[in-house]
């Protein structure tokens, strides 16, 4: 019987298992995932970027330390994670900016660094059209000139698969077993001291989550704790035993465009924003974003739609061509007419697992032995190492987690009691 069972082998599950094994070296861990290998769920569908530009203090702490850890791996341990500090550029119209400013002031107080970029500079170096008002298209769309652009430097792109490889590789050499290809059917709840009476557990018994039943009928139990790292799938299983992650899945789509002409290459390999001679991750008014993917000579284009985008879990979410054509392209081509005639050559979709305040949710409900780690809200990879440390510390009954950058993080800050709620304004 393993000491710990971790359900879910995405970034949260692997990072948690890794840090449990760091902190409780003699322990045994079983990692379960319905996919055939690690990082095959929403982790693999990510826009694969990182930033410390958040408006909640906790999100800043989580991402800063995780990014420092990833940088350390890449620089000092020579484990290439594909990290490239291309920066994040928010280009805002006047209305956006008045909302954004609040978050910006707050982020600044919390030590997040940024600079303002002039429109002239953007036009020349990025090839973006900043003055678009007056055209019929702009009018129809209700799009406005770019008023301010803010560049965050401690931000960029990375390769989530490599982070998965890192944790997975380390875990393979430890006392960790992997069970891939079979999902769980349910969590098993039982009385702490079973009486052997039919109908158990009764409400007056001390009830614990003891293990899981897999879809093939196998039952596995843990000596110590069970960790639910199920992301968007969390509530499918939690609700059956009366628990909830208080986060919700929404489909998120990415469309890949080839930089197959000189105009587009000039955008992708923009100079003057970073040492990488690559465009920054750009967020346009109306939320359309462009994530440079220089290793494949492509752009990844996306948009997080909110009102009207169903809260729904799909096992195989599919990107919608019409979403690109009618919701993304009209905005994109207004600011970058270089994209006007371009069609995506590939697309994919995953979920964000969005919590009520945009911060992760990590707690053990009702002293049940079950730790819920969820609510990554679209920024789970860039916060992944910290989330794993905090979840591991909670599993080990510690009050504080020591983050990579030595921040002492009270595990209750992301719980439901003692939570520091600051609504995250920068969910992209």
How many whole angstroms separate alpha carbon 85 and alpha carbon 274? 7
How many whole angstroms separate alpha carbon 100 and alpha carbon 96? 6
Query: Binding to its own copies by residue 419, rule CB under 8 A?
Result: yes
Query: Binding to its own copies by residue 193, rule CB under 8 A?
Result: yes
Shortest distance (Å) from residue 399 CB to its own copies: 16
Q: Is 126 in a helix, a strand, or coil?
A: helix
Q: Which of 312, 314, 321, 399 binds its own copies (CB under 8 A)?
A: 312
Positions in 352-381 near its own copies (CB under 8 A): 356-357, 365-366, 368
Query: Binding to its own copies by residue 196, rule CB under 8 A?
Result: no
CA nearest to 103, candidates 156, 53, 31 = 53
What are 149's strand-pairing partners? 91, 117
Positions in 202-261 near its own copies (CB under 8 A): 202-207, 209, 235, 238-244, 246, 248, 250
Interstrand relation of 361-363 and 346-355 (parallel, antiparallel or unpaired): unpaired
The token pair at 290 is: 């462009």
Site string for its own copies, 97-126 (x = CB under 8 A): ------------------------------
CA dihedral 11, 13, 14, 18 (to 10 degrees): 130
The token pair at 41 is: 């769920």
Query: Binding to its own copies by residue 199, rule CB under 8 A?
Result: yes
Interstrand relation of 298-302 and 346-355 (parallel, antiparallel or unpaired): unpaired
DSSP conformational letter for 213: E
Size of the site for its own copies (CB under 8 A): 56
Interstrand relation of 225-228 and 370-374 (parallel, antiparallel or unpaired): parallel
294 vs 378 by CB, closer to its own copies: 378
136 vs 275 by CB, closer to its own copies: 136
Identify whether the C-beta of residue 396 lies closer than 8 Å to the C-beta of residue 372: no
Query: Binding to its own copies by residue 418, rule CB under 8 A?
Result: yes
Shortest distance (Å) from residue 242 CB to its own copies: 4
Q: Which of 111, 142, 169, 194 binds its own copies (CB under 8 A)?
A: 142
Task: Write the CB contacts of 372 (distance below 8 Å, at least 6 apart in sequence).
Answer: 228, 234, 238, 243, 245, 361, 362, 363, 364, 365
Q: Which of 98, 314, 326, 346 binds its own copies (CB under 8 A)?
A: 326
Identify whether the C-beta of residue 371 lies closer than 8 Å to the C-beta of residue 391: yes
Query: Binding to its own copies by residue 307, rule CB under 8 A?
Result: yes
40 vs 241 by CB, closer to its own copies: 241
Query: Binding to its own copies by residue 3, rule CB under 8 A?
Result: no
Q: Measured on CA atoms in the order 299, 305, 308, 311, is the torsion positive or negative?
A: positive
Interface residues with its own copies (CB under 8 A) are: 140-143, 189, 193, 195, 199, 201-207, 209, 235, 238-244, 246, 248, 250, 286-287, 303, 305-312, 322-323, 326-328, 330-331, 356-357, 365-366, 368, 416-419, 421, 423
């Amino acid at each position: 019987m393993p000491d710990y069972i971790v359900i879910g082998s995405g970034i949260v599950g692997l990072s948690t298992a890794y840090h449990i094994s760091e902190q409780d070296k003699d322990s045994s861990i079983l990692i379960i995932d319905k996919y055939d290998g690690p990082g095959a769920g929403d982790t693999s569908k990510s826009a694969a970027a990182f930033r410390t530009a958040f408006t909640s203090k906790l999100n800043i702490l989580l991402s800063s330390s995780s990014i420092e850890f990833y940088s350390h791996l890449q620089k000092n341990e020579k484990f290439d994670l594909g990290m490239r500090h291309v920066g994040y550029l928010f280009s805002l119209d006047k209305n956006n900016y008045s909302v954004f400013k609040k978050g910006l002031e707050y982020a600044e107080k919390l030590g997040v660094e940024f600079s303002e970029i002039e429109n002239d500079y953007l036009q020349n170096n990025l090839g973006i059209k900043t003055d678009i008002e007056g055209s019929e298209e702009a009018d129809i769309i209700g799009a406005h000139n770019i008023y301010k652009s803010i560049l965050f430097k401690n931000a960029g792109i990375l390769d989530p698969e490599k982070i998965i490889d890192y944790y997975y590789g380390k875990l393979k050499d430890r006392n960790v077993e992997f069970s891939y290809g079979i999902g769980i059917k349910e969590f098993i709840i039982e009385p702490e001291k079973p009486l052997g009476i039919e109908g158990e557990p009764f409400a007056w018994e001390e009830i614990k989550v003891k293990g899981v039943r897999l879809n093939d009928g196998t039952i596995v139990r843990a000596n110590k704790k069970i960790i639910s790292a199920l992301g968007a799938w969390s509530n499918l299983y939690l609700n059956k035993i009366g628990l909830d992650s208080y986060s919700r899945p929404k489909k998120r789509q990415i469309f890949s465009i080839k930089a197959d002409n000189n105009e587009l290459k000039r955008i992708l390999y923009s100079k003057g924003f970073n040492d990488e001679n690559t465009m920054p991750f750009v967020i346009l008014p109306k939320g359309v974003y462009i994530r440079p993917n220089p290793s494949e000579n492509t752009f990844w284009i996306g948009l997080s739609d909110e009102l009207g985008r169903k809260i729904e879990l799909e096992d195989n979410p599919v990107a919608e061509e019409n979403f690109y054509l009618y919701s993304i392209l009209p905005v994109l081509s207004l600011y970058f007419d270089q994209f006007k005639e371009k069609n995506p050559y590939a697309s994919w979709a995953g979920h964000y697992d969005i919590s009520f305040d945009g911060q992760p949710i990590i707690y053990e409900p009702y002293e049940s032995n079950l730790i819920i780690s969820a609510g990554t809200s679209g920024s789970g990879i860039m916060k992944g190492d910290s989330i794993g440390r905090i979840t591991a510390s909670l599993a080990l009954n510690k009050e504080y987690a020591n983050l990579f950058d030595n921040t002492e993080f009270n595990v209750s800050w992301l719980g439901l009691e003692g939570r520091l709620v600051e609504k995250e304004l920068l969910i992209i």
